[in-house]
A and B are shown apart, each in its own frame.
Chain A
Amino acid sequence: MSRSDLVSSAPGVDLRKIQRLFGTGGPLVALVVLVAFFSLASSTFFTLGNGSSLLTQLSILLVVAIGLTFVIILGSLDLSIEGVMASSSLVFVLLAANDRNDSDLGFLAVIAGVLTGSLFGLLNGVLHVHLKIPSFMVTLGTGAIGIGIATVLFGGRAPRLMDDSLRDLGFGSLGGIPKLAIIAVIVLTIALLVQRFTRVGRYGYAIGGDEQVMKLSGVNINRYKVLSFVLTGTASGIAGVMAALQLGVGDVTIGGGYLFTAITAVVLGGTALVGGIGGVGRTLVGAAIITVLANGLILIGVNPYVQVAVQGLVIVLAVAVTGWSLRKRVRAIK
């Protein structure tokens, strides 16, 4: 929604710059079409109240998907997202003021939760690069470890977050904008900067495009691969903490469903699973499409029994139509 405003209202914006940031226009057009359709079909879609709930629903998915973009650009995959979110949410809640123990570390607990994610990312990267195990196998395993650790910490019932100022980050808003969305925007900005101006961001494309060329140029690609996994893990850690802030508990199932939705968001935005093409800006578009679709279908009253099927259908259509020009490059399995 905000993206369409940006396109139409910002004067003198170079169209190519937008394209470079948000993709070749296809997904963006799909998003605009969906927003236009739902605005016409439902009187509540384009309201302040629904705008704020759209932003909240977008925030956590966006953070997860942004992180995932970094490894997908490498041509790798991170399937540990849900396990990492589970662990980091529990580490965070158990270190902040909670109803299980006397800990009350405040903001330090947030950092501990996020760092839990970074550690998982480091583990993923090191195992993948040095043991030469395919990334989806490594991360499938570490994801299970994450769920396991979370189950032990969970101990039969969800610990509740009792720190009111932290809780306010989860459901409070600032000038009508949910605080969670503000966190997501900060993460997005940092990710855009990392992708644009750092080596790990720029080399990622080259590694995903052709690893051998990079190796022959004398670049220590292993280092940048591990760093990319750390970025993804950190984003999952942030998402786990955000989910705990939002729900007020640490929970083993807190990341449930985010993995598949995040992969969909990344691919829908136009990042190729084979690596080398894409970016976090495009992921924003992909995540927005999914969020708008889930919200809009409920608003226009589509029967819940067929909603999932309709969602799938629209996603397939969107990918087919918008990715037509890319159809040779997005194929992960030939």
Chain B
Amino acid sequence: MTRIRSMLLLAMTLSGLSGLGNVYAAEAVEGSAKFEKLDQCVEPTSVMRRNHFEFIKHQRNLTVHQGIRGSKHSLAGCVDCHARKDTEGNFVPVNAEGQFCDACHDYAAVSPDCFSCHSTVPGEK
């Protein structure tokens, strides 16, 4: 029991630390992301849950090597739709604790590498 409790405490401390240094001020506001106003993602939800990484891996090769940027699947598209805003109207990174990407990836203990290079908030448009 104590072991589980100490592990929980450690996890909480670590996740707290990772939140440091981000620019967003406050809590993300529910309903502030584009996807929350839409019926469906670019594919049915069950398909997206199972295959989103295949889609964006395929797309990344097409974009980098062939210059195709108008495709249905794109990481920039994921971020654009799934990033929420905080109370001050600033975007909260999609991979921040409890946000769209983190929510499942944390549970599944899979750490996506995308955001060591890619932007975590929607781009200028």
Is B a genuine binding partner of A? no
Interface residues of B (CB under 8 A from A): none
